[in-house]
Amino acid sequence: MARLHTSYASAHPAAQGHFPGNPIIPGALLLSDAVHTIAQALDADLSSCRVAAAKFLSFVRPGEVMAIDYTGDLEHGAEFVCSIEGRTVLTGSVQWSRTTRP
């Protein structure tokens, strides 16, 4: 298992209006960031990416750093668990083609 990190600035534009007075990072952004971060680490081709599963378990607030623990390879894809200070916020799996980026 490998660990990566992504962070969300305190003034992240996606949190503006989502929700006023109680900002959270939208789930679609969490999933996108997790998949892109893993794909970049594995040098995977996202042009044929398919999210096989995603489960949102908790919120992420602006200013927090999300840990992404994953297992995977270019052959099959990856399974991942995202957390904030030990609190699981997102789990899922992604599949992509074996082709690497040029």
| Boundaries of every domain in the chain | 2-100
Query: Which of the two residues, 52 and 101, has the higher pLDDT score?
Result: 52
pLDDT in tens, 29-46: 999 999 999 999 998 888
Q: Which CATH superfamily is domain 2-100 in?
A: Hotdog Thioesterase (3.10.129.10)
Q: Is 90 exposed, middle or buried (0-12, 13-18, 19+ CB in 10 A)?
A: buried
- What are the CA-CA distances from residue 50 to residues 18, 21, 36, 76, 83 (Å)? 26, 34, 12, 11, 22
The pLDDT of residue 5 is above 80: yes
pLDDT score recorded for residue 98: 59
Q: What dihedral angle (degrees, nearest 10) is formed by the CA atoms of 10, 42, 85, 64?
A: 0
